[in-house]
Structure 1
Amino acid sequence: MSSYFTLKNGLKAPLVGLGLWKIPPSSAADQVYNAIKLGYRLFDGAADYGNEVEVGQGIKRALDEGIVKREDLFIVSKLWNTFHAPANVKIGLDKTLKDLGLDYVDLYYIHFPIATEFVPVETKYPPAFGVDDNAPFVFEDVPIIETYRALEEAVDAGKVKSLGISNFPGALIQDLLRNKLTHPPVALQIEHHPYLVQPRLVKYAQDLGLFVVAYSTFGPQSFVELNHPKVKNVSKLFDHELIKSIAKAHGKEPSQILLRWVTQRGLAVIPKSSNPERLLQNLQVENFDLTEDEIKQISDLDIGLRFNDPWDWKNQEIPTFV
């Protein structure tokens, strides 16, 4: 099992979890159930992933069989862009809790610092990019602090144990923290891989004591099946000569080297896999150490290449990371 990170509110979160993005609903229940049996305790999901009903089924099966207790699990979800208005925060969160079949989630992120037009759950769910995915975004004038205040009410109501922010740049984090928050964020989730290291943002967040969680740790590999155009411009990290040579030196898989590069620096990881052998390999990334030189060499692959950039979603100017 993974080691744990103590959050600022005293809760403990595993350093290695299972990412639920792109896991098809048809297999999500079995994958979550089997991952729990293997030793996974953190499950990183989101309303936008479209599989929370099935994720909940996998959790329930493990609970019903007594493999774990609810308090043994650290369940994560995220508030989607269409639910930012305070009146809609409750709608989004309650839908997630109903789908998961849970009374609370351990960590609830603001998925992106982007507020778009509300889509009723009866109209379309998950809302994705709106009622018409091909139309330009319709934005709502909702400051982040208004969304956050509504989330603090959810903590007070016992529906959420911890609050987090995802895909937030440093200036926006600083602006949020200038407010007198009742329940300050305990976690920051960011795209983080050797092609996009973001060392200043990581240091800033860690200096604040935030639980920094890396997604898309395998870089281009996470976006191949999406036919992302930027994938064509770089080598896959699993095939990169540097990663392969370090893996050979340690008797590990390239995936384990990439994950250890993250966890050894104090960040959490949430890799996805449907293969039981790889699931176990991904969980076993804290039983060896990279040298300082190896960590530096991997970090030096940084070229500022971001794959998950809202600016690219619809060729529309959304300045999240500008």
Structure 2
Amino acid sequence: MTSRRVVYKDSSGSYQAAAGFEAFRAAGAPDSDLFAIRIAEVDAPSVRNALVVMSAGQKISSSGHMSGVTGQASNWDDTCGDVSCPNVTLDGRSLAMKLRHQGWLPAATTWMAVVNDNNFDHLSDSGTKQQLVNGFVQWLQAQVRPETRSIYLAGSSRGGCLVMLMAQQLRNNPSLDGIELYVSSFDGVCKYTQGELGTTGDKINNPVRPSFTSYGGWATDLSAQFPRRARLHIFHIAGGEEVAPLTGIRAFSAYSGTPPKTGSNLDWGWYKQNWVKWKHKEIGNPYTEPSSSERAQAVSETLDAQLTWLDGWF
């Protein structure tokens, strides 16, 4: 399939808004930031009972980045030009492809898109990031049809934070009150020094963290972040390994009341959180990152755990 830039460069090198992605530019983010965002529409039927958006995490280097959520390979961007990236393939074991083949959300009536690069970078300023979130939300809302009854968002790492922030805006829109909203976060990373998703500098320790590690999540009073929770369903897989040493970059963790020193699995009805022992990369890419002897368990506790959770709703 083809992954398109939301803003591309024409033959003269000038930025242009790509057809169908005009909402991103309208939200105000700089063209130079939008140029890096690349999205592939997997299915785009005219009848849209359901909408699905899945996002990979932040690209750290100039090369591509693999994702067990979207299914993209590590070299997915090898064919990218100034307009698009043709011939992007998605791994059949990924969350996106597994969900597509479950039959709960038939391809004939489900619009699905994968965000290969969201450019929702941890180090960007908060103003630009808010414009990007607004662009993603407005683009997704443009896909809603009168028959739309459910929206499913999933993301890993920075993509996990992105879909959580998108869910905030979507659930606060009264015109979407009749739509079920499902959100899967895989070790979603929000920047606590900018207060993303209400995160603070209080760390909640991972109760199943490996020995001699400091895995944990930045605390957020998630109920305060989602005051309107009707038809809202969130499942967060938390590991909390520091993404890079001594950076403070790690996943979020919800709490109620006072942040505990050590966390526990949560199930509030509308919000579910499971702690896992896996490293950050292992949660995002459970088919490749763990040792071969542990991959089956990692897949079961991450990607497949989310599918089991969804099965309970569908």
TM over 0.5: no
Q: TM-score range by the shorter chain?
A: 0.3 to 0.5
Which structure dedicates a bigger proportion of its chain to strand?
A: 2
Which structure dedicates a bigger proportion of its chain to helix?
A: 1
- TM-score scaled by length of structure 2: 0.34
